Amino acid sequence: MSGQYRAARAEATSKRTSPELSMSRRLIATTGRSFDEWFDILDKAGAEDWPHWRIMRYLAGKRKNDEWWASAVAKAYERARGLDAASGPSFNARVTKTLDAPLDVAWLLVDDEDERRSWLDVELEECSRPSETSLISQLADGSRVTIALREATPGNPGRTRATITHSGVPKEDALAETKAFWRSALARLADIVAEERETE
């Protein structure tokens, strides 16, 4: 599986646009950290539960980051974590699950379309990749789904935290059903991961 993962990662990297790579390089040159490193810092600070202004204030003040880069990192972080809601009145449904697998193995099951179909019974039209282990897709109804993976505990590669955020749910009374759907999907993903480990 690791060979498949490396091939999938190489293909995904080759699809990145020059502006994305250019911005990543400029961010490192300006702040000394990559987007993923800033995302880790924000995760540890609990920024997934913060409004945009607080993320901006933290980056610009606490981390001595200038306002332009603070804004760029904040927006990229919100996209990566599915925190930026679709325009108009809508609601977000977010579910998480810890997977008993390394990040690279779990990501292959998300990144590869055939692998993804084994646990997710819905077709996703990919829109963007805010980080190396997250993707944003659009559904037929115009709502968006962000799937983001990261190490469950930084420095411990054996377990992965998977977060799915469904943005743009049109009705509040549909949230419970939407969350149930994504919880079920993550449960199937966890089962597949467990099966893979048993056959190793």
Instruction: Tell me the backbone φ, ψ of residue 188, rounded to 5 degrees.
Output: -65, -40
53 and 22 both lie in a single domain? yes
127 and 166 both lie in a single domain? yes
Q: For residue 36, give its domain range.
A: 17-80
Residue appearing with tokens 């193995």: 105
75 and 108 both lie in a single domain? no
Residue 134 lies in a domain: yes
Residue 65 lies in a domain: yes
Other C-beta atoms closer than 10 Å to the C-beta of 80 total 28
Residue appearing with tokens 């505990």: 153
Instruction: Tell me the backbone φ, ψ of residue 92, rounded to 5 degrees.
Output: -115, 135
Cα distance between residue 50 and residue 149, in whole Å: 19
Instruction: Tell me the backbone φ, ψ of residue 145, rounded to 5 degrees.
Output: -125, 125
Going from the first residue of the chain to its last (200 residues), give the mean pLDDT of each consecutive group of 10, the final group possibly shorter.
Answer: 46 45 74 86 86 78 66 82 59 91 92 92 83 85 86 84 88 86 95 79
Residue appearing with tokens 């993707």: 135
The reported pLDDT for the residue numbered 12 is 45
CATH code of the domain in which 136 resides? 3.30.530.20
96 and 172 both lie in a single domain? yes
The reported pLDDT for the residue numbered 122 is 84
Structure letter (DSSP) for residue 59: I
State whether the Cα torsion 44-175-131-107 is positive or negative: positive
Structurally, the chain folds into a number of domains equal to: 2
103 and 166 both lie in a single domain? yes
Cα distance between residue 122 and residue 140, in whole Å: 10
pTM over 0.85: no
